[in-house]
Amino acid sequence: MPDITQLALFLAAAFVLAITPGPGIFYVAVRTLAGGRAEGIASSFGTGLGGMVHVLAGSLGVSAIVLASAELFTVLKLAGAAYLV
């Protein structure tokens, strides 16, 4: 378990990355312009939820687990492919 200083630094870095404009902002803008306010709000929640899952997975050490096991990496790839389908 990381100490409070490491956790605070991790959360600060995750926050900075979360508020930095990137492809997600462009996606939300395009969906809003193409489909209106409701699609823009739905896209915002979707990208926000995806970001939170990504940060949570990173904080739980999924990267380290996947690096340690080729089988887990394959399972993660298949789960990602199933999600995209």
**pLDDT tops 70 at residue 1:** no
33-80, pLDDT tens digit by residue?
A: 999 999 999 999 999 898 888 888 887 887 787 788 888 888 888 988
Nearest to 83 by CA among 41, 49, 59, 58: 49
2-11, pLDDT tens digit by residue?
A: 688 998 999 9
Q: What type of residue is 29?
A: A
Q: Strands (DSSP E) along the chain, which ranges?
A: none
